[in-house]
Amino acid sequence: MKTIILWMRLDFRLADNPALVTALKRGVPVIPLFIWSPEDEGEWSPGGASNWWLHQSLSAFDTSLRELGSRLVVRRGPTIETLRNILKETGASAVFWNRRYEPAVIARDKHIKVSLKADGIIAESFNAALLNEPWEIQNKSGKPFQVFTPFWKHCLTKPDPEGPLPAPTIIPAPAQFPKSLTIDSLGLQPRINWTSGIKAAWQPGEAGARAALIQFLQDAFENYSETRNRPDKIGTSRLSPHLHFGEISPRQIWHGLRIAAEKRGWTLEQWRGSQFLAEIGWREFAHHLLYHFQHTPTEPLRPDFKKFPWRKDADWLKAWQSGRTGFPIVDAGMRELWATGWMHNRVRMIVASFLVKDLLHPWQDGAKWFWDTLVDADLAQNTLGWQWTAGCGADAAPYFRVFNPTSQGEKFDPRGDYVRRWCPELAKLPDAWIHQPHNAPPEVLRAAGIRLGETYPEPIVSHAIAREVALEAFAKIKASAGV
């Protein structure tokens, strides 16, 4: 075997990288290659926030490669033509890559593998992103799971995943690297600087992922089940963008959790049943569903929901997107999203419920907004989350669950610290009114310097009325489906 092309897509890490490790075992030069070809991903090409992260992650990975005597070669697509060109330029005889699971990418990769093999090229792909391949997990009927709890229980009957593969200490380089574009030339950075808050909030790259895991295990893992729903506290891992871009693997997290649990004296049953490990399972479930039900990014899994009487209102959608709904916990979440490219998971559920149930706006528009603004935008998890909230997907939330944004805020942000951070115009309100300024006495509003409708909006809907309208609409759909 001559040179191997290591086709990089999302797994921008040296440690626990199966395609890289397998390539290195051949003892020949390895050329890491990134091809920028968003058109290959159909309508789900990366959004603005994801592109920003991708730029940083590529830069960090290239730096790591150079420390080992290698470098990242960057090209523009189309992908198959670009691969054939670089194979011809380098005389390479093999292409290795780690798998992805988005429908359009699966179709592209299958075509590429068949085409390369027809050309006499060795083409191999590897699982680097999941604990289990989606096609490996089946229910007793040999079909995909559609409910999380039995899915995850089944996964936990399998042996623990193997330990993470070590990072290499050197990557053999060719006598001469092929020509490369600069990462800057891909235009991933926004032309208008709206990313200052995102830059301050994150450290993209493998080192940043490792640091985030260490900090979580030290500070929040032990009490995760109690603090994970509190946006006013540091109680979550913030590993989601690192996982999406493959800067850390689920196997690394699995074994990191196991070691941390053992140090705390936890039993095997305790840590395997831990809430955070279940969150890793939820990610697995999302990819399981996307693989088996490839229409779900745009269409409901439950076909009866195609008849749901959604009502699109452009003004309401804009108010929701900009954090001007008049419901503080909703507005705080949407402003956090815009400023940092991320939103606390509990708040994601609240703002999603508000869009699809208080406003009866189609969940697809919410999914598209998250896709463009989240640094951890992941097609599998974005799809599962929105369909869960809308009640039209697998393991969906009961249709009668309509989050009350006021009581949710009072329960999970009891002192209003989260709201005060992201809605500073409400900062002087007493705790009793921070989540319901529209109900505050006039003298309280005056003392806090708030003029409803001017400095902070009135609620765009009445939650009580919206809830009844939503329940009626959802109940009709359920009845027509015989549920």
Tokens matching residue 288: 């399981």
Lowest mean pLDDT among 118-122, 146-150, 172-176, 389-393: 389-393
Q: What is the mean pLDDT of residues 338-361?
A: 96
Quick one: pLDDT at residue 1?
Answer: 67
454 is catalytic: no
Q: What is the mean pLDDT of residues 284-297?
A: 97
44 is catalytic: no
Quick one: pLDDT at residue 5?
Answer: 98
Tokens matching residue 436: 């319901």
Q: What is the mean pLDDT of residues 299-319?
A: 93
- pTM attached to this predicted model: 0.95
Residue 195 predicted with pLDDT over 60: yes
What is the rounded distance in angstroms from the CA atom of residue 314 to the CA atom of residue 335?
Answer: 19
386 is catalytic: yes
Quick one: pLDDT at residue 396?
Answer: 67
What is the rounded distance in angstroms from the CA atom of residue 79 to the CA atom of residue 449?
Answer: 57
Domains 130-164+204-292 and 303-477 are alike in CATH topology: no
Q: What is the mean pLDDT of residues 104-121?
A: 97
Q: What is the mean pLDDT of residues 4-33?
A: 97
- Which of the residues 133, 194, 345, 425 is marked catalytic? 345
Q: Given this structure, which CATH class describes domain 130-164+204-292?
A: mainly alpha
7 is catalytic: no
Q: What is the mean pLDDT of residues 325-329?
A: 98
Q: What is the mean pLDDT of residues 410-438?
A: 97
Tell me which architecture the domain covering 4-128 has in CATH: 3-Layer(aba) Sandwich (3.40)
Environment class of residue 128 by beta-carbon count within 10 Å: exposed (0-12), middle (13-18) or buried (19+)? buried
- Which of the residues 132, 282, 299, 425 is marked catalytic? 282
Quick one: pLDDT at residue 364?
Answer: 97
Q: What's the chain's average pLDDT?
A: 94
Quick one: pLDDT at residue 397?
Answer: 66
For the stretch 209-246, pLDDT in tens is 999 999 999 988 988 998 999 999 988 999 999 999 99
194 is catalytic: no
Residue 192 predicted with pLDDT over 90: no
- Which of the residues 271, 386, 388, 422 is marked catalytic? 386
If one counts every other C-beta atom within 10 angstroms of the C-beta of residue 158, the result is 11
Q: What is the mean pLDDT of residues 154-182?
A: 95
97 is catalytic: no
Quick one: pLDDT at residue 481?
Answer: 59
Q: What is the mean pLDDT of residues 116-145?
A: 96
Q: How confident is the model at residue 190 (pLDDT cuts 50, 70, 90)?
A: confident
| Fold entry, domain 303-477 | DNA Cyclobutane Dipyrimidine Photolyase, subunit A; domain 3 (1.10.579)
What is the rounded distance in angstroms from the CA atom of residue 278 to the CA atom of residue 446?
Answer: 46
Show the DSSP H helices in 136-228 as ranges: 148-156, 196-201, 206-219, 224-227
Q: How confident is the model at residue 191 (pLDDT cuts 50, 70, 90)?
A: confident
Quick one: pLDDT at residue 60?
Answer: 98
- Which of the residues 247, 279, 284, 336 is marked catalytic? 279
For the stretch 70-93, pLDDT in tens is 999 999 999 999 999 999 999 999
Spell out the domain ranges in the chain. 4-128, 130-164+204-292, 303-477
Q: How confident is the model at residue 43 (pLDDT cuts 50, 70, 90)?
A: confident
Quick one: pLDDT at residue 170?
Answer: 96
Which bin fits 228, alpha (ψ -120 to 50), beta or left (φ > 0)?
alpha
Q: What is the mean pLDDT of residues 26-55?
A: 94
Q: How confident is the model at residue 23 (pLDDT cuts 50, 70, 90)?
A: very high
Residue 480 predicted with pLDDT over 80: no
What is the rounded distance in angstroms from the CA atom of residue 47 to the CA atom of residue 244?
Answer: 13
At a CB cut-off of 8 Å and minimum separation 6, what does 245 contact?
10, 12, 53, 54, 57, 204
- Which of the residues 316, 320, 363, 369 is marked catalytic? 363
